[in-house]
Amino acid sequence: AQSVTQLDSHVSVSEGTPVLLRCNYSSSYSPSLFWYVQHPNKGLQLLLKYTSAATLVKGINGFEAEFKKSETSFHLTKPSAHMSDAAEYFCVVTTGGSYIPTFGRGTSLIVHP
């Protein structure tokens, strides 16, 4: 069984300040974890993925995430927010080659000028 919880439905930051989007997961086996971004009225785009290699994963647009097995977390961070980062972010888990990914409910990132 697998599940994912995004701990915040909305996160609001000022431009130039750090971003932290939190994700906890539950998985019976070694998970694969993903972060996707969805801009308004668009499809989802892969930001980064963890598949049992390095625990610190770097993605596009300056985002990165750290896999912490002991905390069952995969939080997404960025040192400095940009206005263009305003979007919906989804944390996703799959387990053991399963064809069925489980999506979190999403976190809306709001960036203020």
Window of 10-18, 30-38, 60-68, 75-83 that interacts with another protein by CB under 8 A? 30-38
Q: By the 8 A CB rule, do 88 and 21 touch?
A: no
Q: By the 8 A CB rule, do 75 and 85 touch?
A: no
Q: How many residues bind another protein (CB under 8 A)?
A: 24
- Of 63, 67, 90, 111, the residue at the interface with another protein (CB under 8 A) is 90
- Under the binding rule (CB under 8 A), the answer on residue 59 touching another protein is no
Q: Which residues contact 24 (CB under 8 A, 6 or more apart)?
A: 4, 5, 7, 71, 72, 73, 74
- Under the binding rule (CB under 8 A), the answer on residue 74 touching another protein is no
Q: In the chain, how long is the greatest CA-to-CA distance?
A: 42
- Of 40, 56, 99, 113, the residue at the interface with another protein (CB under 8 A) is 99
| Joined tokens for residue 43 | 């499809």
- Under the binding rule (CB under 8 A), the answer on residue 7 touching another protein is no
Q: Which residues bind another protein (CB under 8 A)?
A: 9, 32, 34, 36, 41-46, 49, 90, 94-101, 103-106
